């Protein structure tokens, strides 16, 4: 005997956006704005960072620099290579960053309309920056604390959206 599929809404009333999806998408809109600012800022400052890399390296290697700051910086050669590759690949990094923001924004808008495709677009948009970093800069781009915080936040949001997929009905 077949049992009817359980629906999360009444047949007479269309489904509504639940509070968790509402909050997640609002936070995603804020995150998209911050990601857009970061992407544009990285592009604009790439030349300056490249030109000042030797001075920055000297500051980090000076005797006045606290030990914890030196540890946070990691290997000086990795820093130089990261700044150099960021400058050399600034155009593709910018373009892929903009695509990433667009996909995340589009995905969140679609999920507000309870469309399943929004989840896929969002996840792809969230993964593009990490793939871009690995492809154009290298694994040493993940040496810093902020990279790991970013990975953590991304994973949390993907898991939270995954838990809400049952509410995406179209």
Mean pLDDT by 10 residues, the chain (170 residues): 54 87 98 97 96 87 76 76 94 98 98 98 98 92 85 97 96
Residue 113 and residue 48: Cα distance in Å, rounded? 42
Number of domains in the chain: 1
Q: Which residue has the tokens 């960072």?
A: 49
10 inside domain? no
13 inside domain? no
9 inside domain? no
With CA atoms as reference, report the closest residue to 85 among 148, 143, 151, 141: 141
7 inside domain? no
With CA atoms as reference, report the closest residue to 93 among 120, 51, 36, 133: 133
4 inside domain? no
The secondary structure element, H or E, covering residue 158 is helix 145-163
97 inside domain? yes
Integer angstrom CA distances of residue 97 from 21, 48, 80, 101, 104: 24, 20, 22, 6, 11
CB 121 within 8 A of CB 107: yes
Domain assignment of residue 90, given as a range: 19-167
135 inside domain? yes
Q: Give the pLDDT confidence score for residue 1 in this predicted structure.
A: 47
């Amino acid at each position: 005997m077949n049992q009817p599929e359980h629906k999360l809404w009444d047949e007479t009333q269309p489904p509504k956006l639940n509070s968790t999806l509402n909050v997640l998408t609002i936070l995603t809109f804020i995150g998209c704005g911050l990601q857009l600012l970061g992407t544009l800022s990285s592009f604009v400052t790439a030349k300056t960072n490249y030109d000042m890399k030797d001075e920055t390296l000297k500051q980090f290697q000076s005797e006045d620099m606290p030990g914890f700051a030196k540890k946070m910086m990691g290997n000086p050669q990795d820093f130089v290579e990261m700044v150099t590759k960021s400058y050399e690949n600034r155009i593709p990094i910018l373009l892929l960053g903009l695509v990433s923001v667009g996909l995340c924004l589009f995905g969140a808008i679609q999920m507000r309309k309870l469309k399943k495709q929004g989840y896929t677009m969002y996840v792809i948009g969230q993964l593009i920056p990490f793939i871009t970093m690995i492809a154009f800069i290298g694994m040493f781009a993940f040496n810093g604390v902020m990279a790991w915080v970013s990975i953590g936040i991304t994973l949390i949001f993907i898991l939270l959206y995954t838990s809400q997929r049952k509410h995406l009905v179209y």
